[in-house]
Structure formats: C-alpha cells, structure tokens
Structure 1
Amino acid sequence: MATVQLTKDNFNDVTSRDGIVLVDFWAAWCGPCRMFAPVFERSSEKHEDIVFGKVDTEAERELAGAFQISSIPTLMAIRDNVVLYAQPGALPEEALEDLIAKVRAVDMDEVAQKLAADKGSR
C-alpha cells in the first residue's frame, strides 16, 4: 500500500479508524527523514493491512504543533485510535519491523481497561 499524505483536514479521519496507522512526521530538508523515507515505503508495501501516513511538518505546521513535534523524523504508531508509540529518530528497517510486530501484539482490551481506569481515577 502506498503511503497517504496526512493533513489537518484528513488526519483525524485516517487515524481514528480501527486498526494500525503509522505516521511519519518529516520535512524535505531533513537528511534523516530522507534516509527513513524508503524504509517506511518498503514497509508499507509489506503490510497492506496497515495505513502508512506522512505529515510534511513544513506544510502542516499546525498539525505538527498539535503533537508537539520538535524533532524529525518522528514516528507515531496508533492502533484503534490510541497512540502506542511516538518517538523521534529514523529507524532502521529491522527496528521498524520489530515495532510493527510489537504494536500488533498489544492487547487492546487491556489498553482500553487501563485507559478507563486512569480516566476514572481523575
């Protein structure tokens, strides 16, 4: 599956769906972003059940600001509308594949229970 360009207009629609969404916050001038781009693209071709989205932080400053992106590339992993991972840095292919396996393995029922408990304790 090809990557999807994410903007403030479509970000919530894409990321709020059930399933896994990986988001790459990047900029054209960023060397590490350019190095990570083909790794991200190859992974998108291997995992057709995952949405791979890209946010151009130069064009989407408001969106990058909303997520407090201060270093790029930043990779965010969202599953069933819950952010499970958000870290800056270009991952090598093996590390990206490992992250995808970990995100797939998360027990989302357990996450939902924890979120509900945390919300109830406030």
Structure 2
Amino acid sequence: MAVIKATDNDFNEILSSNEKVVVKYYADWCGNCRLFSPKFKRLSDDELFANTAFVDVNAENSPEARKMAGVTNLPFFAVFKGGQLLDTVAASKEEAVRNLILKLDA
C-alpha cells in the first residue's frame, strides 16, 4: 500500500476513514527520517499490515497533527485505532516500529 502524505488539513479525515493508522512524523532536515523512509515503505507493503494505513506527516508543517501524538523527537511514530491515539515511539529501528504497529492488532 502506498504511504499517504498528510497535513493538518486532511489528517483527521484520514484517521476517521481508516480503522488502523500508523503515522511517521518527520522533518526535511532530519537525516534519520530520510534513512527510515524506505523501511516505512517496506512495512507498508507487508501483507501483515494490509489493513493499516501508513501516513507521512511533516512535523514542522503540521502542528495540529504533531500535537495529537505528542511528538517529542524525530523520527516519531504513532499508531491510531478508531481515530484514537494508541501508542507512540521515537525510534530509528525498524523492529521498534514493527512492534508498535503490531499493537494495533493486540
């Protein structure tokens, strides 16, 4: 599945139209964010996560979306279920993000 680019304008709509959502918060200047992009895309293509929407949010341009997850560091990942924040992790390791996404099915 393609990674959806979101802004404050459409973030709530994406949360309400998808039961399970994982969000990667990034900034253009963040090297670790850029390095994680191919891993995030690979996770989005994983059959295990076929019913999960993968969303990219530029944390600098979307303060409301950033506030909803309490972003403290970049890259920062959050999972939402039924529009509600379930959990977050600030990490650059694929395993940490995979474990976060698996919480959506717990």
Question: In structure 1, how many angstroms separate the alpha carbons of the residues matched to 2:18 and 2:62?
Answer: 24
State the alpha-carbon separation in 2 of the partners of residues 54 and 13 from structure 1: 14
Any stretches of 5+ residues in structure 2 without a counterpart? none
Report the TM-score when normalising by structure 2: 0.83
Q: How does 1:78-93 map to 2 (within 5 A)?
A: 78-90=80-92, 92-93=93-94
Higher strand share: 2
1:60 maps onto 2:62 in alignment: yes
Give 1:62 shift: 4.5
Aligned pair count reads: 104
Contact residue 18 and residue 53 of structure 2 kept, 8 A: no
- Show the 5 A alignment for 1:1-122: 1-46=1-46, 47-65=49-67, 67-90=69-92, 92-105=93-106
Q: Which structure has the higher relative contact order (CA within 8 Å, separation 6+)?
A: 2
Deviations 1:29-68 (A, max 9, x none): 1011112211111000112311000111232244324544
What's the C-alpha RMSD, in Å, of the aligned pairs? 1.8
Flag the structure with larger Rg: 1
Alignment gaps of 5+ in structure 1: 106-122
Cα separation, 2, equivalents of 1:61 and 1:78:
17
Percent of matched pairs sharing the same residue = 31
